Amino acid sequence: MDKSSLLLHGVPGSPYTRKMLAVLRYRRIAYRIYPSAMGIPGMPVAKPPLLPTFYLEGADGEVQAVTDSTPLIRRFEAAYERRSVVPADPALAFIDALLEDFADEWLTKAMFHYRWTYAADIDKAGRVLAGWHEGPKDDATLGHIAKIIAERQIPRLRYVGSNPMTGPVIEAGYLRVLQALEEHLRHHAFLMGARPGSCDFAMYGQLTQLALFDPTPTALATAHAPRVCAWVALMDDLSGLEPQADQWQTLDAFPASLRTLLAEVGRLYVPVMLANAQALAAGQGEVHAVVDGQPWVQQSFAYQAKCLGWLRRDYRALGPAPRAAVDQVLAGTGCQELLVGL
Ligand SMILES: N[C@@H](CCC(=O)N[C@@H](CS)C(=O)NCC(=O)O)C(=O)O
């Protein structure tokens, strides 16, 4: 295998593919993307098969199909020097990881919800996503693939927890997140300061779809958050930025706008993550929670319990001073509930 650049497959409609490509461009890590939703012929298949999939050499020298953007970002931190996306201060690195997971695991609910709920969004997504399947195709084939994609994705709304009960909570949350980001971007270039952290790329990944592709959430972003729309387009390629060590956000001057965003994490993501972990521990397939004062019900999701486990592991690994700094930033946001008893 050519080791001079990283090989992956993915498509532009996948927020996690976009997240990883933007990280690689910013970090000036050479890559080759094979544009496919299905995989690369002759290459191993990841279990489960997700986008993006990277093809990396394992300890035994064999090529392995590797997925999952969050641990991949950390793996590339260890493998490639400079232009890090993990803040140097361990306390800020924890806040970064929390916001990253909020984008990956909560904001994606909004992305999937809007895309596969409203007729205009379903229509656009079906037809354009079909075009990202390999090869030129005539109208009948495009329409046929669009139908297959929509019929496959709409029933999967239940995995992200979008249903008639939760839809209004997801939509109100999306608007408040847009407003919090818009306010933050009035004064700051990135969430993590004057240089981007992994949470900036995670937020960007979901927003490539929400703010710039799917018609219903894009209209909301255009109306309420023009800075967010502009920021998402800029995040795409930050290869020319020259980040400095002193450009990370400091916790003692933590912006109110970031605290507002963390309060949304506490309001939206925390109750679902906790209820999901409890349901799985009790062997229950259904999660019941109260989110933003409203009842919430969805299927349990083992992967999200793993994400919560990673965050708790990182918090436990903090020394006394960074832990106190994290506690202070999270006080009153509802996020400390995730860390009770650790
Ligand atoms: N936790 C994974 C999530 C990746 C993921 O869910 N990717 C979606 C596309 S954006 C996917 O492949 N879904 C299954 C499918 O489309 O078959 C990550 O961070 O990379």
Quick: pLDDT tens for 181-205. Answer: 999 999 999 999 999 999 999 999 9
**Residues linked to residue 10 through DSSP beta bridges, in sequence order:** 35
The pLDDT value given to residue 297: 96
Let me know: does 104 contact 67? Beta carbons within 8 Å: no
pLDDT of residue 133 exceeding 90, the answer is no
Same structural domain, 107 and 53? no
Please identify, by atom number, the ligand 1 atom nearest to the C-alpha of residue 303.
Answer: 1
Q: Is residue 205 located within the same domain as residue 310?
A: yes
pLDDT at 3 over 80: no
The pLDDT tens digits of the residues spanning 297-329 come to: 999 999 999 999 999 999 999 999 999 999 999
pLDDT at 271 over 90: yes
Domain co-membership, 34 together with 165? no
Q: How many angstroms does the Cα of residue 104 sit away from the middle of ligand 1? A: 10
Side-chain half-sphere CA neighbours of 28 within 13 A: 9
Residues 293 and 166 in one domain: yes
- CA 16 – ligand 1 centroid, Å: 7
Write down the H helix ranges in 9-156.
Answer: 15-26, 69-79, 90-102, 108-115, 119-131, 139-153
Is there a single domain that holds both residue 45 and residue 98? no
In terms of domains, do 175 and 229 share one?
A: yes
Name the H helices within 9-68. Answer: 15-26
Tell me whether the omega of the peptide bond preceding residue 44 falls within 30 degrees of 0, making it cis.
no
Spell out the residues 6+ positions from residue 310 whose beta carbon is closer than 8 angstroms to its own.
70, 97, 101
> Does residue 85 fall inside a structural domain?
no
Number of domains in the chain: 2
Residue 147 lies in a domain: no
Within the chain, where are the H helices? 15-26, 69-79, 90-102, 108-115, 119-131, 139-153, 157-160, 167-187, 198-210, 215-224, 226-235, 256-264, 270-281, 302-316, 320-330
Q: How many CB atoms lie within 10 A of CB 262?
A: 22
pLDDT digits (tens, 9 = 90+) for 217-230: 999 999 999 999 99
Question: Best substitution site from 8, 16, 33, 47 to test ligand 1's pocket, by max atoms within 8 Å of Cβ?
Answer: 16
Is pTM beyond 0.75 here? Answer: yes
Residue 131 forms part of a structural domain: no
pLDDT of residue 174: 98
Residue 289 counted as domain residue: yes
Distance 184 CA to ligand 1 centre (A): 28
- Span 84-115, pLDDT tens digits: 999 999 999 999 999 999 999 999 999 999 99
105 and 181 belong to one structural domain: yes
Q: What is the pLDDT of residues 134-167, one digit of tens each?
A: 889 999 999 999 999 999 999 999 999 999 999 9
Count of CB atoms within 10 A of residue 5's CB? 12
- The predicted pLDDT at position 134 comes to 81
Task: Indicate the residue among 51, 79, 107 that finishes a domain.
Answer: 79
Whether residue 139 is contained in a domain is answered as: no
Verify that 32 and 100 share a domain, yes or no: no
The phi, psi pair for 33, rounded to 5°, reads: -105, 130
- State the pLDDT at residue 39: 95
Is residue 290 located within the same domain as residue 198?
Answer: yes
- Residue 193 is classified by DSSP as B
Q: How close is the Cα of 254 to the center of ligand 1, in Å?
A: 32
Q: Where a domain ends, among 79, 106, 133? A: 79
283-293 pLDDT tens trace: 999 999 999 99
Q: Are 264 and 180 in contact (CB under 8 A)?
A: yes
> What is the CA(107)–ligand 1 centre distance, in A?
13
CB atoms within 10 A of CB 89: 15
To test the pocket of ligand 1, the residue of 50, 100, 116 to mutate (highest count of ligand atoms within 8 Å of its CB) is: 50
Supply the pLDDT for residue 124: 97
- pLDDT tops 90 at residue 1: no
> How confident is the prediction for the chain on average, in pLDDT?
97
Whole-angstrom CA distances from 325 to 88, 98, 246, 315, 341 are: 14, 14, 18, 11, 17
Does residue 332 form part of some domain?
yes
Do residues 67 and 46 make contact, with C-beta atoms less than 8 angstroms apart?
A: yes
How far is Cα 272 from Cα 266, in angstroms, rounded to an integer? Answer: 10
Question: How remote is the CA of residue 206 from the centroid of ligand 1, in Å?
Answer: 12
**Same-domain status, 13 and 34:** yes
> Which range of residues forms the domain containing residue 216?
90-116+158-339
* Residue 132 within a domain: no
Please give all residues whose beta carbon lies within 6 A of any atom in ligand 1, as ranges: 14-16, 50-51, 67-70, 104
Given phi > 0 = left and psi -120 to 50 = alpha, else beta, which region is 319?
Answer: beta
